[in-house]
Amino acid sequence: MKLATWNVNSLKVRLPQLLEWLGREQPDVVCLQETKMEDAVFPAAEIRAAGYEVVFSGQRTYNGVAVLSTAPLEEVTAGIPGFADEQKRVLAVTRNGVRVVCAYVPNGQSVGSDKYEYKLRWLAAFRHWLGSELAYHPRLAVLGDYNIAPADADVHDPKAWEGQVLVSDAEREAFRGLLALGLKDSFRQFDQPPAAFTWWDYRMNAFRRKMGLRIDHILLSDALSPLCQSCRVDTPMRALERPSDHAPVVAELALD
DNA sequence: ATGGCAGGAAGCTCCTGA
């Protein structure tokens, strides 16, 4: 089973790239973030025509998540239960006994801002909920845009980023809190090239200059991580014409 | 000196992203 996550930064703009990529990469499950569209205009027909079941939870302009799958999806839930939130950031599905959570963690804007406080509250609720999900679903995969670079190795210039949003101590502590539930960062289970990032700013030629962050992650429970055979960033997707500012992350598991 | 680029909604400029 091949699992992938990709922040598309507008599915309307990126749909042709997504369809081409599905045909070439043939993932079994794809978690999308920042679809930026209401459910009424979601391109479900095009995605189904490509051979995927799809569920989605979107809103106009901001946020929006979707999950694509080659096999039937069950137990579909949107949002974090018990955490009131207008923002469409979470979808959970069960596919062949594997629980898959698609998450778009808040950006946080700047350390100390209201949005930063919201991000930390959101992450606390997310952790609490994932703990209960894990109890029901030992085979749990949590994919998405975490908006956290877990360690300095995930930052092109740790000195310049020190203390900033996406790398601050409180955010990294929240990320470690997710791992402490019994989840592993599948990317770090394998040797990786230097400067392996998943996001590059559109400005300042950041991609060409390898000025990126690794903020999109695939976390796997202890029941799944031993089955993981590879995890990599699909960096060439960031080099396309009119790219998303994020590249997909893809993990392969020894599972159907 | 907080810029720079991209997308969306609105409307001929702004907010947000990370």
A145 catalytically annotated: yes
pLDDT at A221 over 90: yes
The mean per-residue pLDDT over the stretch A240-252 comes to: 97
Is A116 one of the catalytic residues?
no
In the prediction, which pLDDT does A89 show? 97
| pLDDT per residue as tens digits for the range A140-177 | 999 999 999 999 999 999 999 999 999 999 999 999 99
**What average pLDDT score do residues A200-220 get?**
96
Check pLDDT > 90 for residue A57.
yes
Buried/exposed A226-245: b ≥16 CB within 10 Å, e otherwise? eebeebbbbbebbeeeebbb
> Can you tell me the distance from the alpha carbon of A29 to that of A185, in angstroms, rounded to the nearest whole number?
18
> What pLDDT, on the 0 to 100 scale, is given for residue A187?
98
Where on strand B do bases come within 7 A of a protein Cβ?
4-9, 16-18
- A165 CA: nearest nucleotide by C1': B18
User: Does the pLDDT of residue A106 top 90, yes or no?
Assistant: yes
At A119-138, the pLDDT tens digits run 999 999 999 999 999 999 99
Q: What is the pLDDT of residue A256?
A: 85
Mean pLDDT of the region A47-76:
97
| Catalytic, out of A28, A52, A104, A146 | A104
Nucleotide nearest to A110 (CA to C1'): B18
Q: Which of residues 87-146 of A touch strand B (CB under 7 A)?
A: 106-107, 109-110, 115, 145
pLDDT band at A181 (very low <50, low <70, confident <90, very high): very high
Separation of alpha carbons A151 and A125, rounded Å: 22
For residue A190, the model assigns a pLDDT of: 98
CA-angle at A30, arms to A27 and A32, nearest 5°: 150
Mean pLDDT value across chain A = 97
